Amino acid sequence: MIENGVGGANTNRNGLSFEERTDLAQHLKKDFNGRYQLAEYPIESKNMVKRGAKDHRFLVHDRITDENIGVVTKQFQFYNVLKQVYGIENIHHKFWKPDEAFFNFKHRTVFIVEKKYQNGSGSVDEKLFGFNAKRVLYQEIFNRQMKEPVIPVEFVAMFNRSWWLDGQTLDEAGKIKKQQSVDYHDYFDSLRNNGVRIMFDHYEDWFLGLNG
């Protein structure tokens, strides 16, 4: 997750809260009336691309349809799941660490989520436009190693509404410390024009192929 802007420790605390609120695995566990069951997703030794990866990887089971619909993971575990599920590896020099990744088996789509928490003005343009490049890089992993039909990658940029829409700087308790007029429409337009889905604070479940 990218954090920026004024606020120091307050930014970090509020940013952590934002990170927890937008944890996809927790969302699946808590917000669907028990529909989805999560269990640790095992990786065979031969598919352990990143052996030191400590983040979770969960198999998502739909209790209503009684089927495994996908795997939710994050950070370096993405590459272990990638090798386990599709038998392909990273082709780029750098290993990107997605904030969230959802391999949706049912819809044959991989969803990548990058989060950007902001609690005040700061340099944002290069970081935001970097999302456009990342979307392409993730898709290239599949394009260059799979036969048609290639698995599509959907890229989600998750922002906190408090700053990006409302221009609020929050204190440690989450109360408004300062407010100013902000307009990031041009930035968001660029992301949308490049196939990036924008969300604020909450997931659009239908977009991820999830049912309530």
- pLDDT at res. 148: 95
Q: Mean pLDDT across the stretch 50-68? A: 93
Give per-residue pLDDT as tens, 14-28.
667 899 999 999 999
Residue predicted with more confidence, 63 or 127 = 63
pTM of the model: 0.91
Query: pLDDT at residue 4 above 60?
Result: no
Provide the residue type at 136 as one letter.
V
Helix, strand, or coil here: 4? Answer: strand
- pLDDT at res. 187: 93
CB 25, CB 40: distance < 8 Å: no
Q: Mean pLDDT across the stretch 126-140? A: 91
Query: pLDDT at residue 152 above 50?
Result: yes
Alpha helices in the chain (DSSP H): 9-21, 24-30, 77-86, 125-143, 161-164, 185-193
- Provide the residue ranges of all domains of the chain, joining segments of one domain with +: 2-172+186-200
